[in-house]
């Protein structure tokens, strides 16, 4: 395997592991604990689930993979903070969205060669990209993997609480 | 720049950005808020500071960069959970350790070529590495970058609290 393919494979492995871990946590909370907050007065798990779907959904056009699937989620889960009483989609719908968007991303990821990962993402113009070649698709992948890790660290606070109670 | 060098540069950029952000948060908490917990009954920022130093210090031998600087931190910050009343080093000492270990890692990182990033890390034998070539130094870098992001997500809960109070 060529060195550049090794790097891509590792970045994808890191992404996959984070998606798997996060899915396990959302599933593990069940429909009972999905409304638990990560800490008193903080985001609830259901909000973070919707937020994660919306952020990953935004990666579709950003990486040139096509149109978004769930743009209606932005208003509640990106543009606004979590607020008890806000109308949200059903939990099961969000769980299905989460699985589906990640499956779709994975399919597209597997079709990209190493050289394509180094091409610009769609929020940077050709002119700017010529000056800043690191604003590429791989950069989006690394950044969104960190984004998942950040919210995983928060969700772990709920998980720890459940473990310590039982 | 060769593709493999681009990938290394991006991974390092992601690491650097996380270190910078985390340092800014630890500095921003000051000596007053460094004993704040990320949530009631959860880890205090001071514990996470010591934990981060210890984990990054462990990267020195793991990546073949030499001996550890602060192995004495493991007992309090790795082997045990945070506990009020545990004797800890002075805050300023931990802040200095954090800066120093990250500077040292950065110096070593800059000396590694792309091919060296794909060499085994020190916790895997030559035999196992032959079967599992992804257990390399780059994998450690990506994994520890995610580890930082995870705890950053938790520290952000303190920061948000401070902002909302003031």
pTM of the model: 0.95
First to last CA, chain A: 47
pLDDT at B166: 39
Q: What is the DSSP string of B100-113?
A: HHHHHHHHHHHH--
pLDDT in 10s for each residue of chain A, 166 residues: 899 999 999 999 999 999 999 999 999 999 999 999 999 999 999 999 999 999 999 999 999 999 999 999 999 999 999 998 999 999 999 999 999 999 999 999 999 999 999 999 999 999 999 999 999 999 999 999 999 999 999 999 997 666 544 3
Distance from CA of B80 to the nearest CA of A (A): 15
Q: Tens digits of per-residue pLDDT, B107-144?
A: 999 999 999 999 999 999 999 999 999 999 999 999 99
Pick among B43, B150, B162 to test the A interface (most A CBs inside 10 A): B150
B1: confidence class by pLDDT, cuts 50, 70, 90: confident
Give the C-alpha separation, B158 to B73, whole Å.
23
* Tokens describing residue B113: 């070529």
Contact (Cβ atoms closer than 8 angstroms) between residue A98 and residue A130: no
Residue B138, CA distances (Å) to A7, A14, B148, B151 in order: 8, 11, 15, 20
Please name the member of B4, B18, B149 whose beta carbon is closest to the beta carbon of A3: B4
The residues, ordered by sequence, that sit 6+ positions from A101 with a Cβ below 8 Å of its Cβ are A53, A56, A57, A60, A69, A70
Distance from CA of A164 to the nearest CA of B (A): 12
- Mean pLDDT estimate for chain B: 95
Put simply, the answer to whether A4 touches B9 (Cβ < 8 Å) is no
Give the C-alpha separation, A55 to A59, whole Å.
7
pLDDT of B147 above 50: yes
Query: H helices of chain A, where?
Result: 3-33, 45-62, 74-77, 91-111, 114-117, 126-131, 137-165
Q: Name the nearest CA neighbour of B52 among B144, B154, B166.
A: B144
Q: Which residues of B touch A3 (CB under 8 A)?
A: 3-4, 114-115, 118
pLDDT at B79: 97
Q: Chain B contact for A11, CB < 8 A?
A: yes
Q: Name the nearest CA neighbour of A151 among B20, B21, B157, B12.
A: B157
């Amino acid at each position: 395997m060529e060195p550049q393919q090794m790097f891509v494979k590792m970045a994808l492995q890191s992404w996959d592991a984070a998606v798997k871990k996060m899915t396990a946590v959302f599933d593990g909370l069940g429909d009972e604990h999905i409304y638990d907050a990560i800490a008193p007065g903080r985001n609830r798990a259901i909000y973070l689930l919707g937020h994660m779907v919306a952020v990953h959904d935004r990666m579709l056009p950003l990486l040139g993979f096509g149109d978004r699937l769930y743009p209606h989620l932005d208003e509640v889960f990106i543009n606004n903070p979590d607020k008890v009483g806000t109308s949200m989609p059903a939990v099961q719908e969000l769980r299905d969205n989460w699985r589906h968007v990640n499956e779709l991303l994975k399919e597209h990821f597997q079709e990209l060669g190493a050289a394509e990962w180094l091409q610009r993402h769609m929020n940077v113009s050709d002119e700017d990209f010529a000056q800043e070649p690191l604003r590429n698709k791989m950069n989006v992948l690394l950044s969104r993997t960190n984004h998942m890790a950040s919210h995983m660290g928060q969700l772990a606070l709920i998980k720890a609480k459940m473990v310590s109670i039982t």
